[in-house]
Structure 1
């Protein structure tokens, strides 16, 4: 397949950007990588973006655990994870430590997790939290990704953002936590 044919096959009008990527002048964008994976679902999105892991999703079971990947905002979509179908799978060396991967589009975590970061999550329980780590916390009222800290007593936890301006600390009663996911890894995608 020529570069121009490949460009047309994935819906691009020209192949110039692909030529620049091939020559090493440009990196691949997330949008272009997603377009490629849409047409070639056997290609691992994370491999395409980072060059790490395995190129093909299928047949990689012996190289690591396949983690369901969702092209959705974690704060808007994780509450209904049981109803979602994965948009693909990622195979990572640390894959047995993550249950799923979502995009984070929030602003509360600032430069640490800029909007568009891919986060790898492991479901845990409130008794297993590690203070100071990042978690996605799901309660009846909120779903948020923040740093989690011990509260004033054993019945509460504090959720803090990296960006102090405009993001107040949130205090949550541990009994109100419906689900909690530890952020095991993240991938900042330009």
Structure 2
């Protein structure tokens, strides 16, 4: 069940339409709820919080992930009314990948035309994270294929730190690379940490320059999360 479908299920449960549901949760018009349903969008954290505040019997975890029952037990509902709940640090996860020709590199699409696959709790490990992507490819040996990278978007590109890992997005591709100063002040150099070579000695993942003006988004890699044997979640922070 997709996030927007869970919103519909809550509306049906209480016998509400878009207008009455919007009014009930304190939204002045039905545009927000209408867009979530009609465009099959994922609701924002703010919208989810409004829903559980108005309808405390609805499970926040269920709204967010689809796990657990929709309705809390009566004891849980009573406890939540009396005990403040620490808000989760929820960030969007983009998990739709497409290949970008070359040496087994992939990117997770996070463009504005694409909705997050889901929202995840970044927890205490990555308090500054603003988004997350699924990592693919083998050019960066620190990050196991399939792991989730926790990212912090860089607003001021003058503050990019050489030697740190970044997810760099242009209109043509998105790559995870270790960044260094480029050939001039108008470029940034993108390096891979996989030093594998062809038989003639040439690097498979050669460094390359990216023009600053071509970068649409750039995010610092804070660390990654991977599921180990037995389902244990392993967290690893990036370089300090």
Q: Deviations over 1:84-142 (max 9, x none)?
A: 134232141144411111210111102x1121111001111422211111111111232
- Tell me by how many angstroms 1:61 deviates: 6.5
Q: TM-score, normalised by structure 2?
A: 0.50
**Structure 1 unpaired stretches of 5+:** 1-36, 45-58
Q: TM-score, normalised by structure 1?
A: 0.61
- Report the RMSD for the aligned CA atoms in angstroms: 3.0
Q: Deviations over 1:18-45 (max 9, x none)?
A: xxxxxxxxxxxxxxxxxxx99x93659x
Counterpart of 1:188 in structure 2 is: 226
2:145 maps to 1:115: yes
Which of 154, 158, 170 pairs up with 1:124?
Answer: 154
Following the alignment from structure 2 to structure 1, what is the Cα–Cα distance between the partners of residues 94 and 148?
Answer: 10
Q: Secondary structure at the match of 2:153?
A: strand
Following the alignment from structure 2 to structure 1, what is the Cα–Cα distance between the partners of residues 214 and 207?
Answer: 16
Counterpart of 2:91 in structure 1 is: 67
- Which structure has more relative contact order (CA 8 Å, sep 6+)? It is 1
Counterpart of 2:208 in structure 1 is: 170
1:6-85 map, 5 Å: 41=65, 62-73=86-97, 75-81=106-112, 83-85=114-116
The alignment covers a number of residue pairs equal to: 138
Contact 2:110 2:116 in 1 (8 A): no
**Structure 2 unpaired stretches of 5+:** 1-60, 69-82, 99-105, 197-203, 229-240
